[in-house]
Chains A and B, each alone.
Chain A
Amino acid sequence: MKKVYMALVFLLISSYAFAQSGTEIDALLSEGILSAQSAARFVLSAADKAKPDIAPRDAFNQAKESAWLPDWALPQSALNLADLSFLIMSAFEMKGGLFYGMAPGPRYAYRELLYLRAIQGLSDPAMTLSGERFLRILGRVLDLQGGAL
């Protein structure tokens, strides 16, 4: 069942013209804890902020230079839900709430993705996540992007 579900997620993501190879997706799905460079690699290309075949390290550097990742982050650092939310909100240029507009950052980015139901299930901002959960979140964001965002 899990394989079928992941195949559907993969299909959804593929439909937005991702150019990641199956090997990369497999590698991401096998990540027990999502790293900053993997998150940057997939988010930036999904948001058309980088070439589809950008290397993870280059995507990380680009996200870091744009201040979309925390200062302390290293390419292999585990990314938590709040920092991932800020990376997604920034890359996709999402509007966010009143407080996000006044103080853009991980805290209110996380709230916005919760509100939009892009983040589902048990969660807190400091929680790390697996590559599989990251793909589901990114899939929902892409789905929302096709709507009104």
Chain B
Amino acid sequence: MKRPLLALALSLAALLAYGADFGAALGLSPKVSEDGFSISMGLTPWLSSIPAGGAGADTELYLSAALTLSYKDDAWSFGFAPRRFDILLKPAAGTSIRIGRQNYADSAGMIASGLYDGFSLNSSWGSARLSLASLYAGLLDKNGSTVVMSGADLSERADTSVYFAPPRALMAASLSFPGTVTYFVDAIAQFDARGSGALNSQYLSMGLRGSSADALSYELALVNGFVEEEGEVFSYSLAGKTSVSWLPPGPAKDRLYGSLRYASGELGFLSPYLSVNAIPQGQVFAPRLAGLFVTQAGYDTRLSAYLSAELQSSAFLRSNEGGPADSGLDPSSDSLWLGFEVYGALRWAPYSDLNILFGSGLFVPGAAFLETEPLRWLAALSIVLAM
């Protein structure tokens, strides 16, 4: 036991001798909602080093971990997990390889998003940009991962004897053509490493994003999803989104934005869309994108050099079958109207290393919910100090 620790200490000392930057982010996040009070305190130490040093450096090492202390449902819990932990290599101009625990997100932002272990490669290929990734979720702390796809995943999440996230692997390839309008195509295959009852899925997505000279930017994406579950018939699903944002002229850096997002439910030849990560679609009411239609509009404004504000509203509709699961939904209701929410936030950043965010929101349940379902609300503060 002493030898690995000694080796680690010597390695870190060697890195520091070469020159490394290190620090920590200290976070405090109290929250009050209709579910009660909760608070989370976190310390995320990190170390970044360029072992080669010098002007022509082409390798970077980044290590970080998160220590968290949380209070929720009248109970305290303590957690420790490595976070981003990777090495970046730049073997040639325009090419980079990242190996280790890293952040991954698909081009459309509707399939997978979060930390994974593995490797990824980005390379310029003429006027195109090629990205390849081979990633695995099963070594992540389950509380730090949002990979949830099946009943087995949910059972393991609830099982206190299971520490790790679901054993799911991703193979991803992405081709994009950067320009004033950037076009992209992604092909992603997800494999369940569990032998029995495995749920595998594949995705083919395409889209574009661009901006025009008058501060208008836009995005359009479509995802085809294919799910194979052992003992079930092969299913096909669809998801799409479009968004527009506009920066009004003037010295203030305001932004007006709107988006539409759709994910199929059970309808005709379509099955409920199933992303790899549960990507929340709201701030107060946060269903995953499945059997759902979400419209969102918002406005960001800069009140002063250090203070900015945001107001956002979202409306949620579900499909008849295969929509989001929620304990407050009325099983006898066939209404598609899930409700709407309004969320406002104030961000105060008086210094570059201190960021304070206060957000509050209200969700008004629609006719799809039980009549007794109360309004949902939250008020949350987040203070982050970078040391």
The contact of B55 among A110, A112, A115, A128, by CB within 8 Å, is A128
The contact of B351 among A80, A98, A148, by CB within 8 Å, is A98
Q: Which residues of B contact A62 (CB under 8 A)?
A: none
Cβ A122 vs Cβ B57 within 8 A: yes
> In whole angstroms, how far apart are the Cα atoms of A128 and B56 in the complex?
9
Cβ B55 vs Cβ A33 within 8 A: yes
Cβ B19 vs Cβ A127 within 8 A: yes
> In whole angstroms, how far apart are the Cα atoms of A76 and B21 in the complex?
25
A20 within 8 A of B: no
Q: How far is the CB of A96 from chain B (nearest CB, A)?
A: 7
Cβ B21 vs Cβ A97 within 8 A: no
Q: How far is the CB of B16 from chain A (nearest CB, A)?
A: 9
Cβ A124 vs Cβ B55 within 8 A: no
B18 within 8 A of A: yes
- Known pairs A122-B90, A124-B21, A124-B49; list 12 more (Cβ under 8 Å): A97-B352, A98-B350, A111-B386, A115-B353, A116-B352, A122-B60, A122-B88, A123-B57, A124-B57, A126-B20, A127-B50, A133-B55
Cβ B50 vs Cβ A111 within 8 A: no
* 4 cross-chain pairs, A with B, having the tightest CB-CB distances, nearest first: A126-B19, A97-B353, A98-B351, A97-B352
Q: Which residues of B contact A99 (CB under 8 A)?
A: 353, 387
Identify the B interface with A (CB < 8 A).
18-21, 23, 48-50, 53-55, 57-60, 88, 90, 305, 350-354, 385-387
> In whole angstroms, how far apart are the Cα atoms of A122 and B89 in the complex?
10
> In whole angstroms, how far apart are the Cα atoms of A128 and B55 in the complex?
6
Cβ A124 vs Cβ B353 within 8 A: no
Q: Which residues of A contact B18 (CB under 8 A)?
A: 126
Per-residue B-contact encoding for A77-120, CB less than 8 Å = 1, 0 else: 00010000000000000001111110000001011100110000
Closest to B19 in A: A126
Q: How far is the CB of B252 from chain A (nearest CB, A)?
A: 12
Q: How far is the CB of B217 from chain A (nearest CB, A)?
A: 20
Q: How many A residues are at the interface, by size bracket?
A: 20 to 34
> In whole angstroms, how far apart are the Cα atoms of A144 and B88 in the complex?
29
Q: Which residues of B contact A98 (CB under 8 A)?
A: 350-351, 353-354, 385
Cβ A127 vs Cβ B352 within 8 A: no
> In whole angstroms, how far apart are the Cα atoms of A71 and B230 in the complex?
69
Cβ A97 vs Cβ B54 within 8 A: no
> In whole angstroms, how far apart are the Cα atoms of A128 and B305 in the complex?
33
> In whole angstroms, how far apart are the Cα atoms of A101 and B350 in the complex?
12
Q: Which residues of B contact A124 (CB under 8 A)?
A: 19-21, 48-50, 53, 57, 60
Closest to B17 in A: A126
The contact of A97 among B50, B90, B305, B351, by CB within 8 Å, is B351
A61 within 8 A of B: no
Closest to B59 in A: A122
Most chain A C-beta atoms within 10 Å of own C-beta, residue among B48, B353, B386: B353
Cβ B387 vs Cβ A128 within 8 A: no
> In whole angstroms, how far apart are the Cα atoms of A97 and B20 in the complex?
20
> In whole angstroms, how far apart are the Cα atoms of A124 and B46 in the complex?
13
Q: How far is the CB of B254 from chain A (nearest CB, A)?
A: 16
Closest to A124 in B: B50
> In whole angstroms, how far apart are the Cα atoms of A99 and B58 in the complex?
30
Q: Which residues of B contact A96 (CB under 8 A)?
A: 351-352
Q: How far is the CB of B96 from chain A (nearest CB, A)?
A: 10
Most chain A C-beta atoms within 10 Å of own C-beta, residue among B49, B55, B354, B386: B55
Cβ B58 vs Cβ A122 within 8 A: yes
Cβ A126 vs Cβ B352 within 8 A: no
Q: How far is the CB of A117 from chain B (nearest CB, A)?
A: 11
Cβ A126 vs Cβ B351 within 8 A: no
Q: How far is the CB of B24 from chain A (nearest CB, A)?
A: 11
Q: How far is the CB of B124 from chain A (nearest CB, A)?
A: 13
Q: How far is the CB of B303 from chain A (nearest CB, A)?
A: 14
A129 within 8 A of B: yes
Q: How far is the CB of B251 from chain A (nearest CB, A)?
A: 10
